[in-house]
A and B are shown apart, each in its own frame.
Chain A
Amino acid sequence: MAQTLAHRKKNAAALLLSVPLVVFALVFVAYPLASGIATAFTSKSLLDPTEAFNGVDNFVSIFAKPAFLNAAGFTALFAAVVVACEMVLGFGLALLFDRKFPGKKLFFTLTLLPIMIAPALLGIMFRLLLNEDIGAIPALLQSVGLSVSLFSPSSVIPLLVVLDILQWTPFTFLIIYAGLQSFPRELLEASSVDGAHFFRQLWHIVLPVLKPVLFAAFFLRAIDAIRTFDVIYVLTAGGPGTTTTTLSIYIYKVAFEQGDFGKAAAASLVVLICLLPFVPFIVKRIASTGMEGK
C-alpha cells in the first residue's frame, strides 16, 4: 500500500517536472515538424500565406530543374572532402599533442579557438583576409608574382574547403584527443614489452580502441558539413552563379528570395527523408559509446 502510494507520488512528480519539456516539444518541435511536412504539399508562399493543396507539384518542380540536384551534389562532395581531411588532420594533431612539451596549455587553448568563433563572423574575418584590395593573402600571393582570383569559379571550391578545414579540424582534434586521454594505458605497455613498432601499435591497438570516438567525431562533423550554411553564405552567397550553393543555401533561397515556402518545405522534406535512415544507426552507435562501463 505504502509502496503504491510512493509510486504514485513519484509518477506525479515525474509528470510535473516534465511539463515544461512536453509543452515546449509540442509547440516548437512537433508542430513545426508537422507544419513543415504539410507545407510541402501546398502552394504557400512568403506573400500569399493561404494554403492551397497542390499535391506533389512542389516535388515535381524541384526535380524539373538541375538546381536542387546540383546543390545536393556539391553538398555531398564538399562534406566528403572536408570531413576526410579533418579526420586525418585532427587525428595527426591529437597524436602530436599527446606528449609533454613546453607551452602545451597555451597552444591547446589556441587550437580550440576556431571552434568558438561564430561561423558567420569567421566568414567576415576570412573576407578581411582574402579581399582583393585589402586582404593579406592576395597581397602575399601578388608579392611572389601570383595573381589568383580566389573567388573565381575555378578556385572558390578549394578555397571553401580549406576554410572549413581551418575551422573544424580543431573539433575532430578535440574529440580524438579526449578519447586518447582515456586510452587504457596497460594495453600499450603490454604490447611495448613485445617490442611492437609504433605504427603497428597505432594500427592494431590504438585505432580499434579509438574506433567509437573516431566514429562519433566523423558523424558529428559529417552531419554539420552536410548542413553547412553560415560561412559559405557570408562569403559567396552560394555563387559565383550557383557553384557553391549547398542544400541549406538552396532551401533558404527558395524560401526567402523566391518566396516559395511550399517548394522549400518540399526540398527540406526530401533532404530529411534522405538523412533519416542514418539517424537511428548513428544514435545507436554513439549512445553505445556513452554507455560503456555503466
Chain B
Amino acid sequence: MTTITEPDTHHDALASVRRSRDRRPSRWLFTLLIGAIAIAINIPLLNAILVSMKPDGEIARNPIGLPQNATLDHYANVLYASGYDFPKFFVNSAAIAIGTVILVLVIAVPATYAIVRLGFGGRWIIDSASGLRLLPAIFFVVPFFILFSNLGLQDSIPGLILANTFLNLPLAIILLAAGLRDIPTEVEEAGSVDGAGIFRTLYSIVLPMLASTVVAVAVLVFIFSWNDYLFALVLSSSNATPVTLGASNFVTSTGIRWGDISAASFLSTLPPLLFAVFAQRYLVSGLSAGAVKG
C-alpha cells in the first residue's frame, strides 16, 4: 500500500524529459483536452442525470438538450410513489454491502495476520486467494444456487452477504497481506517483550498501523458488493433484491417510465460515487495495490 497516487503528491515521471523540449505550450491546453476526455467518458452518467430532471413529456421531445422545465418529480416517484419498491431495494443494497464489509474484515484480518506473521498455512494460501480471484465467478453460480436452496439462504440478505463475502475475500486477503508486510515486525516484537499477548498485539498495535489498508479494503468491498449483479440475479427474487437488479423495475402497463428509471439508476450509483469523491485516496491505493500485489 505504498503506491499512494494522489495527483498532487506525484512527481511527474516524464516531466524532466519533456522540459528539455518544452516550448512552454499552455498548460491550459491539457486542461481542455483532458477535460473533454473526462467529460466524454461520463456522458452516460451525465445523460441519466439530465433525463431524470425532464418531465415525462419532454424526455422524448428533447433528447439532447438540457431540461427546459426541470423537475424533481421522478425522484419523488422513485422514493415515495406506492407500488415501487425502490426504497426497499436501496436498503437491501446497503445492508448487503455493509454486512459484507463487516464479515470480510472479521474473517480476513485475523486470518491474514495468522498467515503473514504466525506462519499459518504459508504462501500458498495467499497464492490460492490470488488464483481464486482469477476464476470466472459464473462457475460458482450453479453450486451457490443449489447450496443456498438447501440451506434456506435463497433470496435472503444473509445469503447475499455470504455470496459477496466469497467474491471479495481474495482481494481483501491480498491487500491486507501486502499492508501487513509493509509494517516493520520490530514494533510487534517490542510489544511481545512487554508481555502483550498475540491477540492484544493484533488489536492494539497492528490494527492501528494497518488502519489505512483496512479502510481501503472496506471501501473497495463496499463498492464491489454494492455493484454485484450476477449473484443477486441468481440468488434473490424479491425479498433481498438490491438496486442493481431493481433499478430497472419501472416498466408499467402504460409503458416504460424512463424518467423514473433514470432517477433510480442515478440514486443507485450515488453511494459508490460519493466514495469515489471523498475516499479517493483509499480507492486508488487499494485498486493499484490490488493489481500489482496479487
Contacts and interface: CB of A to CB of B under 8 A. Distances in A.
B41 A32 contact: no
Interface string B189-209: 000000001110010000000
Residue among B2, B147, B162 with the most chain A CB within 10 A? B147
A21 B142 CA distance: 22
Interface stretch (A62-70, A146-154, A227-235): A227-235
B79 interface: no
A47 interface: no
A99 B7 contact: no
Contact of B142 (A18, A120, A264): A264
A141 B226 CA distance: 35
Given A121-B243, A279-B135, A100 B12 contact: yes
Contacts of A290: 178, 289, 292-294
A272 to B, nearest CB: 5
A262 to B, nearest CB: 9
Nearest to A135: B63
Nearest to A129: B47
B34 A119 contact: no
A117 B142 contact: no
A219 B269 CA distance: 27
A217 B288 CA distance: 9
Nearest to B166: A28
Nearest to A131: B258
B39 A120 contact: no
Interface string A86-114: 00000001011111111111011111111
Nearest to A201: B17
A145 B292 CA distance: 47
A20 B111 contact: yes
A96 B29 CA distance: 11
A268 interface: yes
Nearest to B280: A109
A117 B39 CA distance: 15
Interface residues of A, number: 124
Interface string A255-290: 110000100110011011001001110110011011
Contacts of A212: 292
Contacts of B291: 175, 213, 216-217, 220, 286
Interface in B267-285: 268-269, 272-273, 275-277, 280, 283-284
Contacts of A177: 5
B31 interface: yes
Contacts of B41: 111, 113-114, 166, 169-170
A3 interface: no
B135 A9 contact: no
Interface in B1-43: 2-3, 5, 7-8, 10-18, 20-21, 27-28, 30-31, 33-35, 37-39, 41-43
Given A125-B262, A178-B284, 6 more contacts: A100-B15, A116-B269, A117-B273, A126-B44, A128-B47, A275-B135
17 contacts: A15-B120, A17-B202, A32-B147, A44-B146, A96-B37, A98-B12, A103-B31, A108-B7, A116-B275, A125-B47, A134-B51, A212-B292, A252-B141, A268-B138, A279-B134, A287-B127, A290-B294
